[in-house]
Structure 1
Amino acid sequence: MARLGSKLLFGTDGVDWEERIHFARMREERLSRARAALKKHEIAACLLCQPDNVRYVSGIAFPTFLPQLDYVLLCAGHEPIYYQRLGRSLKGCPWIKPEDFRLALTKWRGYAGGQEVTWALAKKFAADIKSTLKEKGL
């Protein structure tokens, strides 16, 4: 015989009279699990570019039809660095310190100048990541 109903005690929408979904705790736990995975596998840093991975670690969502425009550098023992494209409003993300935001170097293809410009932007991207790793002592 089928049972109706579920074990869900509260709704899934946020309200002020019940805790329901504790988003701050969820973000903290996700970041803790990502850090634990780095430690377990002895990985010093990880560059996350896929939208699902960026959202998991940062709690920041961006359009999935624009992959790799935003990315996160997760370094062991440090707060994640969030690379965001110009013009993106982050006022709604108070859990991230302003010093942990950087300008993303994205959209390498399609610029006037051809391969030379694309290659120069790729070098700048790599140099920026390398500089951040050095800044973090990695």
Structure 2
Amino acid sequence: MAIRTFGTNAVDWEERVDLDRLRRERLDRLKAQLDASEFGALLTFDFANIRYLTSTHIGTWAMDKLIRFAVLPRGGEPVIWDFGSAARHHQLYNPWLDGEERARAGISTLRGAFHPDAGIAADVARKVATVLREHGVADAPIGVDLIEMPILAALQAEGLTVVDGQQVFLEARRIKTRDEISLLAQACSMVDAAYEELYEFLRPGVRENECVGLVSKVLYDLGSEYVEGVNAISGERCAPHPTCTATA
């Protein structure tokens, strides 16, 4: 196409963001990085990495709880474990997960919310080890991005060698695909719109929380799924900015 367009809606008469291509190229990049590494598989608990790998998402409310997990074995396809209802949704509606084989019910330890006697850590390790053995990579190191100590101990008890795999994920994500660049441009335009609304809203007596609320509303109205880091600092607290201070 001669001219790129960045509309927020898809249309049948113009190519904008090709989400199928986005999913495919992300997975291909990660597979290439895995093949170039010494790892037999990649195991992820980080929501951003899980989304990059499996094209699944269940909302930002659980991002800090390490609930879900997914594994990419060398030479294989990604497998994700999620809440039972979420796993069923993935099976029905995610075109990149082949039914029950690659989207399975299962959760991790929720940052220790489950007591060790519940056996959740051992269950997670058993699930992961089963997939690795099926693909013949259980004897190779497994790269992990984020992990809790009970999960680490359980994986080691299964005979797995666990090493830091975060850089493999970051290297795959470092260079953006054409569709990721389009989405970044779209996100930037949405932020520009929020600042324009904020500029017109500012007047004497406006409170910081009102500014944050306005920016958040504009971004959510435009389609944002996650708004983070809206800093509103005014008055004497601006000098110096409280998040930019340094000690001599």
The answer, yes or no, to whether TM exceeds 0.5 is yes
What amino acid is the match of 2:73? C
In structure 1, the gaps of 5 or more residues are: 1-6
Alignment-derived partner of residue 123 in structure 2? 124
| 2:88 is aligned with 1:85 | no
Q: Deviations over 1:33-61 (max 9, x none)?
A: 10111111221101111111011111112
* Aligned counterpart for 2:17 among listed residues 18, 21, 24: 21
CA distance in 2, matches of 1:122, 1:107: 6
Give the greater-gyration-radius structure (CA): 2
Q: Which residue of 1 aligns with 2:37?
A: 41
**In the alignment, which residue of structure 2 is the partner of 1:11?**
6
SS in 1 for 2:85: coil
Please state whether the residue corresponding to 1:106 is helix, strand or coil: coil
User: Between Structure 1 and Structure 2, how many residues are aligned?
Assistant: 128
Q: What secondary structure is seen at the aligned counterpart in 1 of 2:93?
A: coil
Provide the C-alpha distance between the structure 1 equivalents of 2:36 and 2:132, rounded to a whole number of angstroms.
20
Where does structure 1 differ by over 3 angstroms across 4 or more consecutive aligned residues? 107-111
* Higher RCO (CA-CA < 8 Å; seq separation 6+): 2
Alpha-carbon contact 2:30-2:53 (below 8 Å) kept: yes
* Partners of 2:79 and 2:104 within 8 A in 1: yes
Task: Show structure 2 runs of 5+ residues with no match.
Answer: 138-248
Tell me the CA shift for residue 101 of structure 1: 1.4
Identity among equivalent positions (%) equals: 27
Residue 66 of structure 1 pairs with residue 68 of structure 2: no
Q: What TM-score do you get using the length of structure 1 for normalisation?
A: 0.82
SS of equivalent to 1:65? helix
The residue that corresponds to 1:3 in the other structure is: none
